[in-house]
Structures are given as C-alpha cells and as structure tokens.
Amino acid sequence: MKITERYKKPTPTFFRKLRNIGIALAATGGAIIAAPIALPAIIVTIATYLTVAGTVATAVSQAVVSDNEAESNEQ
C-alpha cells in the first residue's frame, strides 16, 4: 500500500484523537518558540520538544488506517 493510499483511508478513532492532540502540541510549541519576548532557555527547549513530539505524533497517527478487511478475514 502506497503512502498516498494510506492517507486517503479512514483513521481509527483513537488515532484521530491522538492526531488532534499532536497538532495542539505542535502549535503550542511553535507559538512559544515564535513569541516576540525573551524566554528562559529551558522554556524554549521544552517548546522545541513539544513541537517535535506533536509533529511526529500527528504524522504517525495520520498514517494508521482502519483495516476492516483483515479483521473480517481472520474471523
């Protein structure tokens, strides 16, 4: 299955929620990094990790597909 086919198939509910949480984490981290005020280095470091973790969670969650055909074949 090609990656474009995976992105077009339905995503299970758990991974949709996880994807949305990942988007929120990435957006929060990005907003903190882009803040026009001076922040302590630890805050910027945490924001960087939030952005990376959110981006990875979003990408992985979007690539997971519901495989109803395999489940029905196993029964």
Q: Between 66 and 34, name the one with better pLDDT.
A: 34
- Encode 3-67 in three state secondary structure: HHHHHHCCCCHHHHHHHHHHHHHHHHHHHHHCCCCCCCHHHHHHHHHHHHHHHHHHHHHHHCCCC
pLDDT at 70: 52
Mean pLDDT lowest for which of 2-6, 60-64, 69-73? 69-73
Which residue, among 50, 26, 47, has the nearest Cα to 37 in the 3D structure?
47
The number of beta carbons lying within 10 Å of the beta carbon of residue 13 is 9
pLDDT band at 75 (very low <50, low <70, confident <90, very high): very low
pLDDT in tens, 17-37: 999 999 999 999 999 999 999
